[in-house]
């Protein structure tokens, strides 16, 4: 239910029940806990148009501070991701088989850089990122990142992916049921998915 042009009241995005209790407040927003399934979600939340604008520009126009989500590239992230992914997918790297990997919300490309260092040469390693300044920087580093959303590439993909990663992305998706279905369409049957929500 739209409250005004900027915010809407929603039911639980997972079980669609409306009963909930206050969980926390921050920056003028409220997180509630669903009485049925226990999911914690922001409610009321910005309307989808505002979420989309914030994702593309990094500027959250509906919060009362001047911080943005553009941030900057952090060299230490590449090293940290390489260490973590090296351990999680040790069997993959030891297999020396070419793989295909898509990083969704690839940011400045730190995940892709780590995968490039770990994967067999000749692997297909790609990213998509809606925020233009990040894409520009990542492409200057020679990374294969495009300024697109997942739904933009759904019908263009000729070969499905073996792996897909969403790091600090999943918790920003307004309709994650629809999103998971879209992801399924571009993944091989035996594919793996790496999800790390913001905590």
HSE, CB side, 13 Å, CA atoms: give it for residue 116: 15
Beta bridge partners of 128: 104, 146
Contact window for Zn ion (CB under 5 A) among 11-19, 93-101, 174-182, 187-195: 11-19
Q: Is 14 in the site for Zn ion (CB under 5 A)?
A: yes
- Minimum Å distance from CB 35 to Zn ion? 8
**Nearest to Zn ion of 33, 172 (CB atom):** 33
Q: Is 154 in the site for Zn ion (CB under 5 A)?
A: no
Nearest to 183 by CA among 160, 167, 199: 160
Is residue 130 within 8 Å of 55, Cβ to Cβ? yes
Q: Is 10 in the site for Zn ion (CB under 5 A)?
A: no
**Nearest to Zn ion of 35, 185 (CB atom):** 35
d(CA 26, CA 14): 22
The correct pick among 7, 12, 100, 165 for binding Zn ion (CB under 5 A) is: 12
d(CA 23, CA 89): 36
Those residues with Cβ within 8 angstroms of residue 68's Cβ, 6 or more apart along the chain or in another chain? 57, 58, 59, 60
Give the CA-trace dihedral at 177, 198, 127, 85, to 10 degrees. -110
How many CB atoms are closer than 10 A to CB 102?
A: 25
Q: Is 32 in the site for Zn ion (CB under 5 A)?
A: no
Contact window for Zn ion (CB under 5 A) among 34-42, 49-57, 121-129, 131-139: 34-42
Is residue 166 within 8 Å of 104, Cβ to Cβ? yes
Contact window for Zn ion (CB under 5 A) among 31-39, 43-51, 87-95, 100-108: 31-39
Site for Zn ion in 35-64 (CB under 5 A): 36-37, 39
Contact window for Zn ion (CB under 5 A) among 7-15, 45-53, 56-64, 99-107: 7-15
The correct pick among 7, 32, 34, 102 for binding Zn ion (CB under 5 A) is: 34
**Nearest to Zn ion of 14, 149 (CB atom):** 14
- Minimum Å distance from CB 18 to Zn ion? 9
Give me the residues that bind Zn ion (CB under 5 A), please.
12, 14-15, 34, 36-37, 39
């Amino acid at each position: 239910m739209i409250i005004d042009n900027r915010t809407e009241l929603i039911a639980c995005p997972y079980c669609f029940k409306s009963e909930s209790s206050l969980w926390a407040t921050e920056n003028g927003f409220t997180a509630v806990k669903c009485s049925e399934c226990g999911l914690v979600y922001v409610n009321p939340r910005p309307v989808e148009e505002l979420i989309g604008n914030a994702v593309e520009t990094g500027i959250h126009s509906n919060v009362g501070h001047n911080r943005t989500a553009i941030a900057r590239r952090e060299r230490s992230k590449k090293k940290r991701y390489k260490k973590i992914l090296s351990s999680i997918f040790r069997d993959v790297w030891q297999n020396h088989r070419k793989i295909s990997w898509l990083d969704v919300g690839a940011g400045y490309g730190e995940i892709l850089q780590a995968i490039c260092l770990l994967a067999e040469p000749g692997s297909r390693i790609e990213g998509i990122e809606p925020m233009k300044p990040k894409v520009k920087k990542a492409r200057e580093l020679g990374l294969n990142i495009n300024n697109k959303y997942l739904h933009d590439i759904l019908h263009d993909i000729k070969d499905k992916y073996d792996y897909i990663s969403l790091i600090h992305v999943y918790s920003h998706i307004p309709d994650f049921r629809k999103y998971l279905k879209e992801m399924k369409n571009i993944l091989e049957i035996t594919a793996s998915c790496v999800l790390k929500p913001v905590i």
